[in-house]
Amino acid sequence: MKKIIFMIITILAGTTIAMANSYVDGFLMLNDAGDAKTQTGLGLKIATSIREDINICLRTAFSSATEDPNTINETEYMQIQGLLGGEYVYYIQQFPMAISLSAAAGVSRTEVKPKNDSSGIKELGETGIGYGFWLGGQWMLTQWVTPFIEIGYSKSMYATDFKNASIGGLQFLAGIRFTVWGKNKSLSDDYE
Protein backbone atom coordinates (compact mmCIF):
# COMPACT_ATOMS: atom_id res chain seq x y z
CA MET A 1 0.00 0.00 0.00
CA LYS A 2 2.82 2.41 0.88
CA LYS A 3 4.47 1.77 -2.49
CA ILE A 4 1.25 2.58 -4.36
CA ILE A 5 0.74 5.83 -2.43
CA PHE A 6 4.38 6.78 -3.03
CA MET A 7 4.01 6.08 -6.78
CA ILE A 8 0.81 8.17 -7.00
CA ILE A 9 2.44 11.11 -5.18
CA THR A 10 5.53 10.83 -7.41
CA ILE A 11 3.45 10.80 -10.60
CA LEU A 12 1.30 13.76 -9.50
CA ALA A 13 4.32 15.78 -8.36
CA GLY A 14 6.25 14.92 -11.52
CA THR A 15 3.46 15.97 -13.87
CA THR A 16 2.91 19.20 -11.93
CA ILE A 17 6.59 20.10 -12.19
CA ALA A 18 6.68 19.11 -15.88
CA MET A 19 3.88 21.60 -16.62
CA ALA A 20 5.44 24.38 -14.53
CA ASN A 21 7.44 27.34 -15.79
CA SER A 22 11.03 27.57 -14.56
CA TYR A 23 12.82 30.91 -14.36
CA VAL A 24 16.34 32.19 -13.78
CA ASP A 25 16.72 35.86 -12.81
CA GLY A 26 20.00 37.72 -12.90
CA PHE A 27 20.06 41.14 -11.22
CA LEU A 28 22.18 44.07 -10.10
CA MET A 29 21.35 45.61 -6.74
CA LEU A 30 21.82 48.57 -4.46
CA ASN A 31 21.64 47.20 -0.91
CA ASP A 32 21.25 49.50 2.09
CA ALA A 33 22.68 47.23 4.79
CA GLY A 34 22.29 49.75 7.63
CA ASP A 35 25.37 49.73 9.87
CA ALA A 36 27.16 47.65 7.19
CA LYS A 37 26.86 50.64 4.78
CA THR A 38 25.13 50.95 1.41
CA GLN A 39 26.53 48.26 -0.88
CA THR A 40 26.36 47.39 -4.57
CA GLY A 41 26.11 43.83 -5.75
CA LEU A 42 24.54 41.18 -7.90
CA GLY A 43 22.35 38.17 -7.47
CA LEU A 44 20.61 35.19 -8.95
CA LYS A 45 17.09 33.90 -8.36
CA ILE A 46 15.82 30.49 -9.45
CA ALA A 47 12.04 30.04 -9.45
CA THR A 48 9.44 27.53 -10.52
CA SER A 49 5.70 28.07 -10.78
CA ILE A 50 3.32 26.06 -8.64
CA ARG A 51 0.36 27.92 -10.18
CA GLU A 52 0.18 30.34 -13.09
CA ASP A 53 0.61 33.30 -10.73
CA ILE A 54 2.56 31.80 -7.79
CA ASN A 55 6.24 30.81 -7.80
CA ILE A 56 8.56 29.33 -5.22
CA CYS A 57 12.06 30.75 -5.43
CA LEU A 58 15.62 30.60 -4.14
CA ARG A 59 17.25 34.05 -4.10
CA THR A 60 21.01 34.48 -3.61
CA ALA A 61 22.76 37.85 -3.49
CA PHE A 62 26.26 39.20 -2.87
CA SER A 63 27.01 42.86 -2.19
CA SER A 64 29.99 44.85 -0.92
CA ALA A 65 31.22 48.37 -0.28
CA THR A 66 34.59 49.94 0.54
CA GLU A 67 34.75 52.88 2.94
CA ASP A 68 37.74 55.28 2.80
CA PRO A 69 39.46 53.46 -0.12
CA ASN A 70 43.25 53.75 -0.49
CA THR A 71 43.72 55.16 3.02
CA ILE A 72 44.88 53.71 6.33
CA ASN A 73 41.21 53.57 7.41
CA GLU A 74 40.05 51.52 4.40
CA THR A 75 37.30 49.11 5.48
CA GLU A 76 35.44 46.59 3.35
CA TYR A 77 31.82 45.65 4.09
CA MET A 78 30.26 42.54 2.57
CA GLN A 79 26.93 40.71 2.75
CA ILE A 80 25.82 37.38 1.28
CA GLN A 81 22.22 36.13 1.44
CA GLY A 82 20.56 32.85 0.50
CA LEU A 83 16.79 33.12 0.89
CA LEU A 84 13.93 30.72 0.09
CA GLY A 85 10.46 32.12 -0.46
CA GLY A 86 7.44 32.73 -2.61
CA GLU A 87 6.44 35.16 -5.33
CA TYR A 88 2.99 36.29 -6.50
CA VAL A 89 2.83 37.66 -10.06
CA TYR A 90 -0.23 39.64 -11.18
CA TYR A 91 -0.39 39.80 -14.99
CA ILE A 92 -1.96 42.98 -16.39
CA GLN A 93 -4.34 41.66 -19.05
CA GLN A 94 -4.19 44.58 -21.50
CA PHE A 95 -0.40 44.94 -21.53
CA PRO A 96 2.66 42.68 -21.62
CA MET A 97 3.42 43.67 -18.03
CA ALA A 98 3.14 42.18 -14.56
CA ILE A 99 3.42 43.29 -10.95
CA SER A 100 5.27 40.98 -8.56
CA LEU A 101 5.21 40.70 -4.78
CA SER A 102 7.67 38.37 -3.06
CA ALA A 103 8.87 37.41 0.41
CA ALA A 104 11.71 35.15 1.47
CA ALA A 105 13.71 34.08 4.53
CA GLY A 106 16.94 32.19 5.03
CA VAL A 107 20.64 32.63 5.79
CA SER A 108 22.57 35.90 5.77
CA ARG A 109 26.29 36.56 6.36
CA THR A 110 27.77 40.00 7.00
CA GLU A 111 31.47 40.83 7.31
CA VAL A 112 33.46 43.96 8.17
CA LYS A 113 37.17 43.80 7.27
CA PRO A 114 39.54 46.68 8.00
CA LYS A 115 42.60 46.85 5.72
CA ASN A 116 44.87 47.92 8.58
CA ASP A 117 44.70 46.46 12.10
CA SER A 118 45.78 49.80 13.61
CA SER A 119 42.66 51.60 12.33
CA GLY A 120 40.78 50.82 15.56
CA ILE A 121 38.15 48.70 13.79
CA LYS A 122 38.29 44.97 14.44
CA GLU A 123 37.38 42.35 11.87
CA LEU A 124 33.83 41.09 12.32
CA GLY A 125 31.87 38.36 10.59
CA GLU A 126 28.73 36.48 11.46
CA THR A 127 26.13 34.20 9.89
CA GLY A 128 22.53 34.67 10.96
CA ILE A 129 18.93 34.77 9.82
CA GLY A 130 17.76 37.07 7.04
CA TYR A 131 14.41 37.92 5.50
CA GLY A 132 13.00 40.35 2.98
CA PHE A 133 9.98 41.63 1.05
CA TRP A 134 9.99 43.01 -2.51
CA LEU A 135 7.53 44.71 -4.88
CA GLY A 136 8.35 44.97 -8.56
CA GLY A 137 7.32 45.38 -12.15
CA GLN A 138 8.04 43.09 -15.10
CA TRP A 139 7.86 43.79 -18.82
CA MET A 140 7.46 40.68 -20.97
CA LEU A 141 9.78 41.57 -23.83
CA THR A 142 9.43 38.07 -25.33
CA GLN A 143 8.06 34.77 -24.05
CA TRP A 144 11.55 33.95 -22.80
CA VAL A 145 13.03 37.32 -21.71
CA THR A 146 11.48 39.64 -19.11
CA PRO A 147 13.32 42.72 -17.77
CA PHE A 148 12.26 43.71 -14.24
CA ILE A 149 12.81 46.17 -11.42
CA GLU A 150 12.09 45.66 -7.73
CA ILE A 151 12.21 47.67 -4.53
CA GLY A 152 12.17 45.96 -1.18
CA TYR A 153 13.32 45.74 2.39
CA SER A 154 15.80 43.21 3.75
CA LYS A 155 16.81 42.60 7.37
CA SER A 156 19.48 40.37 8.93
CA MET A 157 19.52 39.31 12.58
CA TYR A 158 22.62 38.17 14.47
CA ALA A 159 23.48 36.92 17.97
CA THR A 160 27.14 37.88 18.62
CA ASP A 161 29.31 40.26 16.52
CA PHE A 162 26.39 42.25 15.12
CA LYS A 163 23.93 41.72 18.01
CA ASN A 164 23.51 45.46 18.64
CA ALA A 165 23.93 46.53 15.01
CA SER A 166 21.12 47.39 12.63
CA ILE A 167 21.85 45.35 9.50
CA GLY A 168 19.04 45.98 7.04
CA GLY A 169 17.34 48.49 4.81
CA LEU A 170 15.99 49.16 1.34
CA GLN A 171 17.08 47.21 -1.71
CA PHE A 172 16.77 48.32 -5.33
CA LEU A 173 17.10 45.60 -7.98
CA ALA A 174 17.16 45.68 -11.78
CA GLY A 175 17.59 42.58 -13.88
CA ILE A 176 16.38 40.16 -16.50
CA ARG A 177 14.24 37.05 -16.01
CA PHE A 178 14.83 34.17 -18.40
CA THR A 179 12.12 31.53 -18.81
CA VAL A 180 14.16 28.32 -19.15
CA TRP A 181 11.21 25.90 -19.17
CA GLY A 182 7.60 26.53 -20.13
CA LYS A 183 6.52 29.86 -21.57
CA ASN A 184 4.89 33.14 -20.67
CA LYS A 185 1.67 34.32 -22.28
CA SER A 186 1.77 34.76 -26.03
CA LEU A 187 2.57 38.32 -27.03
CA SER A 188 -0.81 38.56 -28.78
CA ASP A 189 -2.93 37.23 -25.86
CA ASP A 190 -5.39 39.63 -24.22
CA TYR A 191 -3.49 42.82 -25.05
CA GLU A 192 -6.13 44.33 -27.35
Quick: pLDDT tens for 127-175: 999 999 999 999 988 888 999 999 999 999 998 888 888 888 999 999 9
Quick: pLDDT tens for 164-189: 888 889 999 999 999 988 766 555 55
Q: What is the pTM of this model?
A: 0.80
Residue 95 CA from chain centroid, whole number: 25
Closest-CA residue to 159 (of 129, 135, 115): 129
CA dist 61 and 111 (Å) reads: 14
Quick: pLDDT tens for 1-22: 677 777 776 765 555 555 678 8
Which CATH architecture describes the domain 21-181?
Beta Barrel (2.40)
